[in-house]
């Protein structure tokens, strides 16, 4: 019976947790953002794939090409969900910025040096 208690909580957590994806919001000219949140261990790849698919479908619906600009990821830890912010552009054929994407990680720490 003791072992059952230790299996019950993770099972309940796994069944009630999920991945949620926000609406796509404007972030500038031809630039958009979508956010995903994950409360289930092991669902990180699924969350990222769903974000990229939603962004790609959004651009395709405008007859434009999806170009990722940046991705910021916060790891899932107990008590705090994992999050991904994806910023992307929807560009038309011939746009000079339409090229192979070069992804850049947004730093999660910045250091300011103050000289006196």
Sorted by where each begins, the domain ranges of the chain are 18-105
* Three-state secondary-structure class, residue 42: coil
Q: What are phi and psi of 114, to 5 degrees?
A: -110, 120
**Average pLDDT for 19-44:** 83
Distance, C-alpha 101 to centroid of its chain: 16
Q: Give pLDDT tens digits for 33-60.
A: 998 887 766 667 778 888 899 999 999 9
pLDDT value of residue 79: 65
Q: For 18-105, CATH number?
A: 3.30.1360
Whole-prediction pTM value?
0.67
């Amino acid at each position: 019976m003791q072992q059952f208690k230790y299996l019950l909580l993770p099972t309940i957590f796994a069944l009630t947790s999920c991945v949620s994806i926000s609406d796509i919001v404007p972030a500038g000219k031809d630039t958009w953002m979508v956010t995903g949140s994950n409360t289930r261990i092991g669902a990180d790849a699924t969350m990222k794939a769903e974000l990229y698919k939603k962004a790609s479908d959004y651009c395709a619906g405008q007859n434009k090409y999806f170009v990722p600009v940046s991705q910021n990821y916060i790891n899932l830890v107990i008590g705090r969900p994992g999050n991904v912010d994806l910023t992307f552009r929807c560009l038309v054929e011939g746009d000079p910025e339409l090229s192979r994407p070069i992804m850049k990680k947004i730093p999660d720490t910045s250091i300011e040096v103050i000289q006196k």
